[in-house]
Chain A
Amino acid sequence: MEASLQEVPLPGTALAEELDQRLLIVLRDGRKVLGVLRSFDQFANLVVEGSVERIIVGEQYGDIPLGLQIIRGENVVLLGRVDEGKDTPEGLTLVSPAVIKEAQRGEKELNKLKSTIRARMDFLDLE
């Protein structure tokens, strides 16, 4: 089970390759942040500059500007490299922050309603 150490980057260099790149950061609560990675540490705590939170509801998406952020590593799920050109997702229409927040609220209400209905059905234990 020998592997040459030159092939595999040392711990701590994995994110070094992503410095100054525009990244998509997916967080544990499902939020997506896009921004330029400026700093990181061994816990994957991140400093992101020029960041936006991208909210996607159905066919619409909106970017809420956040600016300079520090993200605690324990909340990070993954970091994805986004090509500069392919920044905007295909097949989705950009809307203003107000519109997308309203859409998000609507979706949350719908999900809450669905889960209460589901909870009532489960209670009945029809199976």
Chain B
Amino acid sequence: MLFFSLFKTLVGKEVTVELKNDLCISGALHSVDQYLNIKLTNTRVHNEQKYPHMMSVRNCFIRGSVVRYVHLPPGAVDVEVLHDATRRESRGG
């Protein structure tokens, strides 16, 4: 639940999702769910020429299981707060 909560705080921010198939998609985080599925709006693909099928896609739903990284803007996350929350989670769980 911790990362679900983390992503909820990032809704609206510009992120870049790197998938396990090496596709990189940037966009605004529209929503996230308990499986860490991600919905992005206003998407654009890095290295567009390699993925012509993605050219006219502006909104997408990304299955959580295929995400390798979610690159965040610097300063988007208060690391201290996250650190404390992690300690609390590990103590409780």
Count of residues in B whose CB is under 8 Å from the partner chain:
34
A94 at the interface (CB under 8 A from B): no
Complexed CA–CA distance, A56 and B51 (Å): 9
Complexed CA–CA distance, A78 and B33 (Å): 15
Complexed CA–CA distance, A79 and B52 (Å): 15
Q: How far is the CB of B88 from chain A (nearest CB, A)?
A: 11
Closest chain A residue to B54, Cβ basis: A80
Closest chain A residue to B39, Cβ basis: A14
Contact of A81 with B63 in the complex, beta carbons under 8 Å:
no
B21, B54, B61, B62: residue with the most chain A Cβ atoms closer than 10 Å: B61
Complexed CA–CA distance, A9 and B23 (Å): 25
Contact of B58 with A81 in the complex, beta carbons under 8 Å:
yes
Contact of A30 with B21 in the complex, beta carbons under 8 Å:
yes
Complexed CA–CA distance, A9 and B61 (Å): 13
A83 at the interface (CB under 8 A from B): yes
Complexed CA–CA distance, A7 and B28 (Å): 14
Contact of A73 with B33 in the complex, beta carbons under 8 Å:
no
Chain A interface residues (CB < 8 Å from chain B)? 1, 3, 7-12, 14-15, 18, 24, 26, 28, 30, 32, 42, 44, 54, 56, 61, 73-74, 76-83, 86-87, 89-92
Chain B interface residues (CB < 8 Å from chain A)? 5-6, 8-9, 11, 19, 21, 23, 25, 31-35, 37, 39, 43, 52-63, 65-66, 81-82, 85
